[in-house]
Amino acid sequence: MTLNKATKTDTHTPDLFIGIDGGGSSCRAKLLSSDGAITGCGFSGRANPVHGVAKTIESIIDCSQKAIKDAGLEQSAIRNITAGIGLAGVNLPSLYEKINHWQHPFKRMFLTTDLHIACLGAHAKQDGSVIIAGTGSCGISIVGSKIFSYGAHGFPWGDQCSGAWLGLQAISVSLLAYDDLGPQTSLCDRVCDALDTNPREIADKMSNQPSKEFAKLARLVFEEAKNGDAVAISVLEDGVGYLNKMARKIMATSPGRLSLIGGLRSELRPWLASDVQDYLVDPIESPEDGAIYFAKSKAGQKTSVVQIQT
Amino acid sequence: MTLNKATKTDTHTPDLFIGIDGGGSSCRAKLLSSDGAITGCGFSGRANPVHGVAKTIESIIDCSQKAIKDAGLEQSAIRNITAGIGLAGVNLPSLYEKINHWQHPFKRMFLTTDLHIACLGAHAKQDGSVIIAGTGSCGISIVGSKIFSYGAHGFPWGDQCSGAWLGLQAISVSLLAYDDLGPQTSLCDRVCDALDTNPREIADKMSNQPSKEFAKLARLVFEEAKNGDAVAISVLEDGVGYLNKMARKIMATSPGRLSLIGGLRSELRPWLASDVQDYLVDPIESPEDGAIYFAKSKAGQKTSVVQIQT
């Protein structure tokens, strides 16, 4: 449905919003008109400014243009769109400033973290909490006007039990096994196969690679743990121990709801402690929906959401 | 002493050799004439091609020019010098090729690993073994024609108990403590002071930094461990456990001699297991001397050393 079609049937032009969720591996956009008549979706590459502000902006533009096209609008409509953007990495003040001062093409742009929009979406802007486990990992709880956040410190020093962290551990234990300085593990062959290399050349393949390349190896840890490899199980138990601690800290803030989201949610869930699994609920809406709530709130619409301090 | 002075007193021009040892934090050169009459030293910045081939070449040239100047020679003498170069990172085949095919200014250039020249120097080209613990970590044992090597897989997936690894652990445990998801540690304040930042902005400071910047934090782990901080002690014990295993693997190859070298040698030694400490001997000569042995051997001089396969 095009903007022209929409305006022909309405007495006034509906406001246009786009919600964008950017992380270490991909960027998603959802376009929505205030009357709900116009919708569109877009998908593009990685958008974590830690690994490049220029690439992040390119991905935001790319998925926006795809959503505009998907909605049947002219690309020039971007000038009429109010954008809510949640990005990994903008909890770092310097990166928040860089993206926030970008000469963007939107009518208005409001920036926050991927964690914030994920939580707003998962609980339809009501109180609640989320743990994201995708390329990175982090958690947030929003209770009344209080916000509690955990992790989101980045890779490789943080993001325990994220895809990137699991991939890094897979490489590390493989190299220890190769040198016979750690227990033998089926991960060593699996990692070499996945990287099409041998242990001596793993570093050659992985040097200066972004976190998403490490995250691609995470599935091997789950697969080999299921196959009974003791080292893979140990890696997962270490990582999940971190997520259990985070979940219990979040549960202690009484958020009412806790959703596990991100690319690893299905594979991780059965590894979590039973008290944590019992507390989990499915998210109501997507992070992109949360980004639209955020944009509407910041644009002065009736929708009001807790503002996160960045 | 200049080349002119030397040639005036000799019946023939002595051959000139330079030994260069390049790692993640610095690069050292030693110039020596075949008659021992001309000597010079040079020191420059980091020279690990994993973190940049161009910077590595710049550092090699820089320390060579300083050694030539220190020896009282004209810079044009570089064309008469046979170079032996041992670098971190060239165990990775693609980096070995890049550096080995560099249009260097020397008469001849022979390339090997930093580990190889360190071992040749430490034992005056006889059988022996070394563990290097500096910005990175690795080990090698040369027994007859056999070479056994361990580690040298790079940071952050390998190099356990290296300066960079200890620095990374210091950051990681500090952030866990900040989120109250790990035990409290005095390292958190020390790391923030050293980086002139707060826990929320550590990632901002450290993103895309080379391993030498992480290695600068290693001293905090030793200091806080000495002060009794349980987390710092635990980090050190984990790392030293790896070095003990490596040392015992090396000792099992019967190298006769094992030297601990690199920037952390003095601080690490008292943390090693007593059987490992008892086996350690002081190195006889420097890695730069080892690089000169290597160059002489490759250049067909009487000195012969085991060749490492790269």
Helix (H, G, I), strand (E, B) or coil at B284: coil
Q: Are residues A108 and A12 part of one domain?
A: yes
For range A266-285, the mean pLDDT: 97
Residue B104 corresponds to which tokens in the numbers above? 């260097």
Query: What's the pTM?
Result: 0.85
Q: Is the ipTM above a cut-off of 0.90?
A: no
Q: Are residues A105 and A54 part of one domain?
A: yes
| Each residue's pLDDT tens digit, B218-248 | 999 999 999 999 999 999 999 999 999 999 9
How many structural domains are present in chain A? 2
Give the residue on B whose Cα is nearest the Cα of A207: B50
Identity of the amino acid at B164: A
The b/e string for B168-179 (b: 16+ C-beta within 10 A; e otherwise) is bbbbbbbbbbbb
Q: In chain B, which residues have their Cβ closer than 8 Å to the Cβ of A87?
A: none
Residue A187 corresponds to which tokens in the numbers above? 């991960």
pLDDT on residue A304: 60
| Each residue's pLDDT tens digit, A53-104 | 999 999 999 999 999 999 999 999 999 999 999 998 898 888 999 999 999 9
Q: Are residues B179 and B120 part of one domain?
A: no
pLDDT on residue A1: 41
Would you place residue B302 in the very low, low, confident or very high pLDDT band (cuts 50, 70, 90)? Answer: low
- Say how many residues make up chain B: 310
Give the residue on A whose Cα is nearest the Cα of B171: A157
Query: Who's near A265: CB < 8 A, 6+ residues apart?
Result: A133
Q: Are residues A193 and A103 part of one domain?
A: no
Would you place residue A195 in the very low, low, confident or very high pLDDT band (cuts 50, 70, 90)? Answer: very high
Identity of the amino acid at A284: I
In a domain, B135, yes or no: no
For range B150-172, the mean pLDDT: 95
In a domain, A132, yes or no: no
Output the CA torsion sign for B234, B240, B246, B249: negative
Q: Is B201 on the interface with A (CB under 8 A)?
A: yes
Per-residue pLDDT at B5 exceeds 80? no
pLDDT on residue B207: 86
Q: Is A156 on the interface with B (CB under 8 A)?
A: yes
Percentage of chain A with pLDDT > 70? 93
Integer-rounded Cα radius of gyration of chain B: 21
Q: Are residues A258 and A201 part of one domain?
A: yes
Q: What distances in angstroms separate CA B66 from CA A233, B14, B26, B121, one per listed residue? A: 53, 20, 14, 21
Q: Are residues B289 and B257 part of one domain?
A: no
Per-residue pLDDT at B79 exceeds 80? yes
- Of the candidates A91, A157, A175, which has its C-beta nearest B158's C-beta? A175
Per-residue pLDDT at B129 exceeds 90? yes
Q: Are residues B118 and B33 part of one domain?
A: yes
Would you place residue A6 in the very low, low, confident or very high pLDDT band (cuts 50, 70, 90)? Answer: very low
Give the residue on A whose Cα is nearest the Cα of B214: A157
Per-residue pLDDT at B6 exceeds 50? no
Residue A204 corresponds to which tokens in the numbers above? 């050659």
> Residue A43 phi/psi, 5° resolution?
-140, 135
Q: How many CA atoms lie within 13 A of A226 on its CB side?
A: 8
Distance CA B297, CA B310 (A): 16
- Of the candidates B157, B172, B208, which has its C-beta nearest A206's C-beta? B157
The answer to whether residues A233 and A185 touch, using CB atoms and an 8 Å cutoff, is: no
pLDDT on residue B2: 43
Residue contact B172–A157, C-beta within 8 A: yes
The DSSP H or E segment spanning A84 is: strand A81-87
Q: Dmax of chain A from CA atoms?
A: 74
Question: Bridge-partner residues for A78, per DSSP?
Answer: none
What integer best gives the mean pLDDT of chain B?
A: 92
Q: How many CA atoms lie within 13 A of B91 on its CB side?
A: 24
Per-residue pLDDT at B309 exceeds 80? no
The nearest CA of chain B is from the CA of A89 a distance in Å of 9
Host domain of residue B93: 3-124+284-298
Percentage of chain B with pLDDT > 70? 93
Tokens 């190859």 sit on residue = B253
CATH assignment at residue A227: 3.30.420.40
Helix (H, G, I), strand (E, B) or coil at B223: helix
pLDDT on residue A200: 86
Q: Are residues B257 and B209 part of one domain?
A: yes
Beta strand B81-87 with B16-22: parallel, antiparallel or unpaired?
parallel
| Each residue's pLDDT tens digit, A159-188 | 999 999 999 999 999 999 999 999 999 999
Per-residue pLDDT at A192 exceeds 60? yes
For range B207-224, the mean pLDDT: 94
The CB density around residue B249, as the number of other CB atoms within 10 Å, is 17
Q: In chain A, which residues have their Cβ closer than 8 Å to the Cβ of B200?
A: 91-93
Give B253's DSSP letter: T
